[in-house]
Structure 1
């Protein structure tokens, strides 16, 4: 951890922004109401305005931010004292040091304290897989890798550490977790999700919310932000921020559960889907933002836009004839805070709209109450900056070990012909491929910069895959040739020559870092240069260990057919290289499982919870035939399942059903196994999914050890959303599947289906 200078500490101790307190001993709601009663319309609208940090930085003659970043006092005073701006966000360009963050946040809050009511600024940051915008922080696997652990405890711990390091950077609001459902492999933000399954997404997402928020007002906790409400991840053409077409019942069945679970877990803020559903931009949808989010899900926190999205109601969606009309539509729909993010147009238009009676004052008061409440809940009024000495564990070995454990449990073994893995440490190994020697392929986007394109600079002290293997077995046993860039050959002949001298080839293919729209692709297959490298290396006859580091499941069927073993490493974070070396050479037994269905072909993109019609039949060679199914993953040991048991043959509306199964480690080494419970509704009024995950549990077993794993379900766990958008459980037969064990039971209800209202 970097030392904080004595002068800095002294400054912290002597300076504390103490905003006006409304009877500190009273309840949060009383304090909010008392403060609100003192506010002018201008002060209220200012609280609803969010600017990017760049808007208040010093710039040169070309309008570029001066380096190192420094706040422009005049711009800052204008923002906080003239316009009373309530929130700032973002990082300008690249990660800052803790010391620099301290200086920025201190000056911001000190300026806010000069305003009449001394309301502190709520600063937001995209700490997506650790505090990725502070140097020296702990970077974990991206969410898709966290999902592959099938271990909510790891998600909770990673979020807890992230919150600690965000607060150690003097920030109290984290724009995470992403709760979008990663259904379409083309979408460039798949790696930010917990994958394609609603149950995994809601379980891991709720764990992350709890880890981030804790008791919320503690100095190690931050406000979580659910992203991106809702349906954002399923654009029809797979491109970021393009239209989705999702029927209401389908939206509720698959996309809503993760947000409901996060609301139930206490999430205090939500960021809204930048795109549109069925022709209606979500920022303009009173149905989704008020009727559903507030009325049905019971969310009481802040609803913030994404980047410029109110402006885009006019510029992109063309549903508002003017920018002023766009503000009217969004605020009346239920938006509380606008990520403007560069100017004061939102502020000016909204004040005009209130004076004109087009936005009611009650809507303004409602929004501002929510904003003030989160500021009070996060302790900003009591300590708007924080003490640098309170965070001795920042970037610590303890936190690094937690990141390594997460990466160890995320990496997924997909193929291991003839038990080629683990490799012996005295073997001569060629490491090759475009992702072998760059941290960009381990961290992905949202790493030090938005696009993650400077990870090799900021994570220079971390091990790439090549460096980790060299450290594991010694440089003398490791050959290296890149063989190809991401999309072009690079000395392929040299890689082939080196392969002939090696006992095994570790071929690292995949993607470099990207984020959001720049990650859009027109072709799901990996570039030909990477596939050709695989072909040339396979011709040597040496066993190829294919390692995939990628943000989404790119089609790699040709290359995968040539491999003796295949490992999916996702974007596994700063410790991903070390974790991969641990697994390749047997120091760690792999236990990850795929959190999505891995496609075999470009145009066969079907999720595992497919409809029966998608399975194909005896006359259809083009049915469901993925390269690897959701939940698949191998180990260096073996597990057997037996004695699947249900507590009773039938379930009624007032009962619970206990399902148990015995799991035994039948191999020669200790290993972790994710026990996955699938249930199929055999017949229903809405065509049922082939199967759905309804529970999972990860256990550790020593050789020969057995354990009974139990799950308890209720009728609601069997429910689906019908064509009236109601959550119902219909009587009938259900099939349980855990590994190779199956069993059936019946659900018996009264004369009508059990109805639990809307989801």
Structure 2
């Protein structure tokens, strides 16, 4: 057995040593001048609505105007170091952002004793989501479906450019939570269920945001913020911000690696999980925030809370008797900056705690050093405000072409019975379903507004699915009857059943029916649900159009895989579009009519039953066949579509899987090669996926694990040899002593439909 690294586990190993963070001379000189009040202010972050004119701190009057008195109170009196969000929670023009950021920085730089600039942050998670006219990409789950490292990095670069055009230098992205439970309403913000895929694409997005050398002083790059550290995506209930039970082995095997990889890639900040793990709120966990993140992983950047989460330690989680005690718990645990977001009591409490000896000054200095280091590296002391006029490519066709390519490569063909797709352009189709004629579900949440409900104000020039199909075929050849619609019912958006009989009637005079199903936009708590099944309204609509006898093609436009078990056998084609962004309508139409050959692959396992939510990297005991003639139990691996699955309009053949050796030893590398041939008549892209399977181990091994992937392009008849290198570290797992080990024994390599074996020996 090779012990690759000792991983800290409480009571198991010696504690990791405290990491000494970088000391920048200019920052150290500034720290020596700062009072306690000035230091604590740097650790405070408020939402922009606190600083604007409005009828309350929760509402900004339009047009936006900053409240001079509140600005003075926050920046001069309380000396706050950071601001976040967008006024009224909706997108702003470049000119508005320039006014907002310039006004804030002018006061911070010119009217405070030390002139420390403000650090402004925003959630630009699939493009610069709070700036009008910005370029929007598929949400992360769709970007994962591209399996294209280059596209993910390019999307990050464009997002960074356009976020800096908005004068904002700090992006609360990427999300590195694991999307392993489709009940969770933030699954679509993740890169899916696999550790390796998430780690690889997380690295690319960090590099896209921060640049190859993490030089975030570059005015075209921003500081990334990894979220939500750690273990946020698998609550027991499946609902947002509810408790999770995660053994240390699982925490380290599944949840920690993507953060570790992104930290090693140079990410400058981390946002903390709002939830509770094993009874302990993460914001109060010294083990997770200091011992693992700062000491073991050596993270030198800023650790920021999520929204109001220090207050939640008292109000919601009840681990602190008072708000003051909550501040003490969080800061001593390792929090550097508090997303307050509405008041300044955090500052008052923290000053008192330091003066009372409850929070050591060394902890304050550590936090403030990290914050000032990031401000310095961002170049804010030299250029606190970037000018949007220096960003001529903002919203350009060049950028939009990349977004459209991302959307096109994300589209995943799940079923194509009798090669019904692509359709010819001389057909007549009926389009129906709630997702057919709205930009809102194409984009999802965090789009112009938190819940994605303001797209009508900003996205009018883009194509819905219906509009894109009419663009292809002509309006006279595309009949539209919604059947089911999303509408505002009082204060809330509801799914409203329509005239299904009219849909059935319209089907009489068409060749095909395109059924656009899925979800309206949501995120966080508003996305919680009791039942993962597709809604009754949509299932009824589907059944009625299937009964017409016309060929039905389903387009799924959803943030998580909803149960469609009863539909799948009865329709001819199924496309998974995820949340493809503003160019999703065009991308879907391109795929349907063959202008683009689909190449997306599922970044998660698509479940068949609500009670069978199993990931591909499950344990062997989770897949047990029925005992024919004896017992009829439902313990088989019943899934709708497997992880990594996706069809093409061409065909690919794998051959000649070869290993450089039948043995792999420590400090050696094993080369795996395979030939891939396009055996069809269309050019196409294929994702070559390499899995390994550990035959036997000291703890039950996963059935298989993704270890490498590469996306290639092949002309008809073309063959390429794809090679991958594996090391002992790629075969490692966390054992029951919380050690990362590679154990001697037999391993299986799986590529396409081919298998080969080798032995690891010490």
Does the alignment reach a TM-score above 0.5? yes
Which residue of structure 2 aligns with residue 111 of structure 1? Answer: 107
Equivalences for residues 646-725 of structure 1 within 5 A: 646-725=659-738
Query: For structure 1, which runs of at least 5 residues remain unmatched after alignment?
Result: 1-26, 750-759
- For 2:103 and 2:504, locate their aligned partners in 1 and report how far apart those are by CA, in whole Å: 57
Scaled by the length of structure 1, what TM-score is found?
Answer: 0.94
- For 1:111 and 1:562, locate their aligned partners in 2 and report how far apart those are by CA, in whole Å: 64
Matched, 1:101 2:97: yes
Which residue of structure 1 aligns with residue 75 of structure 2? Answer: 80
Q: Secondary structure at the match of 1:153?
A: helix
Matched, 1:643 2:638: no
Does structure 1 conserve the Cα–Cα contact (< 8 Å) formed by 2:49 and 2:59? no
Equivalences for residues 333-352 of structure 1 within 5 A: 333-352=333-352
1:623 Cα offset (Å): 1.5
- For 1:64 and 1:446, locate their aligned partners in 2 and report how far apart those are by CA, in whole Å: 18
- For 1:64 and 1:268, locate their aligned partners in 2 and report how far apart those are by CA, in whole Å: 31
Does structure 2 conserve the Cα–Cα contact (< 8 Å) formed by 1:28 and 1:377? no
Equivalences for residues 414-429 of structure 1 within 5 A: 414-429=414-429
Which residue of structure 2 aligns with residue 294 of structure 1? Answer: 294
Which residue of structure 1 aligns with residue 760 of structure 2? Answer: 747
Does structure 2 conserve the Cα–Cα contact (< 8 Å) formed by 1:186 and 1:238? yes
Give per-residue Cα distances to partners, 1:435-472, cap 9 Å, x unaligned. 00000110000000000011132101100000011111
Matched, 1:229 2:242: no
1:500 Cα offset (Å): 1.4
1:496 Cα offset (Å): 0.9
1:389 Cα offset (Å): 2.2
Which residue of structure 1 aligns with residue 117 of structure 2? Answer: 120
- For 1:95 and 1:389, locate their aligned partners in 2 and report how far apart those are by CA, in whole Å: 19
Which residue of structure 2 aligns with residue 525 of structure 1? Answer: 533
Give per-residue Cα distances to partners, 1:18-51, cap 9 Å, x unaligned. xxxxxxxxx9711110110010000000000000
Does structure 2 conserve the Cα–Cα contact (< 8 Å) formed by 1:28 and 1:376? no
Give per-residue Cα distances to partners, 1:313-362, cap 9 Å, x unaligned. 01111110110000001000000000000111110000000000000000
Does structure 1 conserve the Cα–Cα contact (< 8 Å) formed by 2:49 and 2:58? no
Q: Secondary structure at the match of 2:209?
A: helix
Does structure 2 conserve the Cα–Cα contact (< 8 Å) formed by 1:59 and 1:65? yes
- For 1:325 and 1:540, locate their aligned partners in 2 and report how far apart those are by CA, in whole Å: 65
Which residue of structure 1 aligns with residue 597 of structure 2? Answer: 589
Q: Which of 482-491 and 151-160 deviates more? A: 482-491
- For 1:184 and 1:677, locate their aligned partners in 2 and report how far apart those are by CA, in whole Å: 23
Q: Which of 491-500 and 730-739 deviates more? A: 491-500
Give per-residue Cα distances to partners, 1:676-735, cap 9 Å, x unaligned. 000000100110000000000000000000000011010000000011111100000000
Does structure 2 conserve the Cα–Cα contact (< 8 Å) formed by 1:534 and 1:562? no
In structure 2, do the counterparts of structure 1 residues 28 and 365 end up closer, same or farther at CA, with 3 Å as the change threshold? closer
Matched, 1:252 2:275: no
Q: Secondary structure at the match of 1:485?
A: strand
Which residue of structure 2 aligns with residue 386 of structure 1? Answer: 386
Matched residue count: 723
- For 2:55 and 2:343, locate their aligned partners in 1 and report how far apart those are by CA, in whole Å: 18
Does structure 1 conserve the Cα–Cα contact (< 8 Å) formed by 2:50 and 2:57? no
1:299 Cα offset (Å): 0.8
Q: Which of 245-254 and 491-500 deviates more? A: 491-500
Matched, 1:557 2:552: no
In structure 2, do the counterparts of structure 1 residues 61 and 92 end up closer, same or farther at CA, with 3 Å as the change threshold? closer
- For 1:268 and 1:291, locate their aligned partners in 2 and report how far apart those are by CA, in whole Å: 18
Q: Secondary structure at the match of 1:430?
A: strand
Give per-residue Cα distances to partners, 1:68-112, cap 9 Å, x unaligned. 111100000110001110000001221000000000000000010
- For 1:245 and 1:64, locate their aligned partners in 2 and report how far apart those are by CA, in whole Å: 37
Matched, 1:70 2:65: yes
1:226 Cα offset (Å): 0.1
1:560 Cα offset (Å): 2.1
Which residue of structure 2 aligns with residue 604 of structure 1? Answer: 612
Give per-residue Cα distances to partners, 1:612-640, cap 9 Å, x unaligned. 00111242443112000100000000000
In structure 2, do the counterparts of structure 1 residues 145 and 360 end up closer, same or farther at CA, with 3 Å as the change threshold? same
- For 1:478 and 1:424, locate their aligned partners in 2 and report how far apart those are by CA, in whole Å: 13
Which residue of structure 2 aligns with residue 732 of structure 1? Answer: 745
Give per-residue Cα distances to partners, 1:615-673, cap 9 Å, x unaligned. 11242443112000100000000000000001000000110000010000000000000
- For 1:621 and 1:238, locate their aligned partners in 2 and report how far apart those are by CA, in whole Å: 22
Which residue of structure 2 aligns with residue 623 of structure 1? Answer: 636
Equivalences for residues 256-267 of structure 1 within 5 A: 256-267=256-267
Note the aligned Cα RMSD (angstroms).
1.0
Matched, 1:398 2:411: no
Does structure 1 conserve the Cα–Cα contact (< 8 Å) formed by 2:49 and 2:57? no
Which residue of structure 1 aligns with residue 217 of structure 2? Answer: 217
Give per-residue Cα distances to partners, 1:424-444, cap 9 Å, x unaligned. 111001111000000011000
Equivalences for residues 225-374 of structure 1 within 5 A: 225-374=225-374
- For 2:81 and 2:298, locate their aligned partners in 1 and report how far apart those are by CA, in whole Å: 24
Which residue of structure 2 aligns with residue 496 of structure 1? Answer: 504
1:556 Cα offset (Å): 1.1
Give per-residue Cα distances to partners, 1:460-517, cap 9 Å, x unaligned. 1100000011111111111101011254420111111111111001100000000100
1:63 Cα offset (Å): 6.7
Query: For structure 2, which runs of at least 5 residues remain unmatched after alignment?
Result: 1-21, 487-494, 628-632
Q: 2:132 aligns with which of 131, 135, 138?
A: 135
- For 2:54 and 2:254, locate their aligned partners in 1 and report how far apart those are by CA, in whole Å: 46
Q: 1:167 aligns with which of 154, 164, 168?
A: 164
1:294 Cα offset (Å): 1.0
- For 2:414 and 2:353, locate their aligned partners in 1 and report how far apart those are by CA, in whole Å: 58
- For 1:691 and 1:388, locate their aligned partners in 2 and report how far apart those are by CA, in whole Å: 49
- For 1:296 and 1:680, locate their aligned partners in 2 and report how far apart those are by CA, in whole Å: 29
Matched, 1:58 2:71: no
- For 2:679 and 2:123, locate their aligned partners in 1 and report how far apart those are by CA, in whole Å: 44
Q: Secondary structure at the match of 2:24?
A: helix
- For 2:275 and 2:387, locate their aligned partners in 1 and report how far apart those are by CA, in whole Å: 40
Runs of 4+ in 1 over 6 A off after TM superposition: none
- For 2:63 and 2:252, locate their aligned partners in 1 and report how far apart those are by CA, in whole Å: 47
Does structure 2 conserve the Cα–Cα contact (< 8 Å) formed by 1:682 and 1:688? yes
Does structure 1 conserve the Cα–Cα contact (< 8 Å) formed by 2:177 and 2:232? yes
Q: Secondary structure at the match of 2:673?
A: strand
1:61 Cα offset (Å): 7.3
- For 1:317 and 1:569, locate their aligned partners in 2 and report how far apart those are by CA, in whole Å: 37
Give per-residue Cα distances to partners, 1:105-142, cap 9 Å, x unaligned. 00000010110100000000000100010000000000
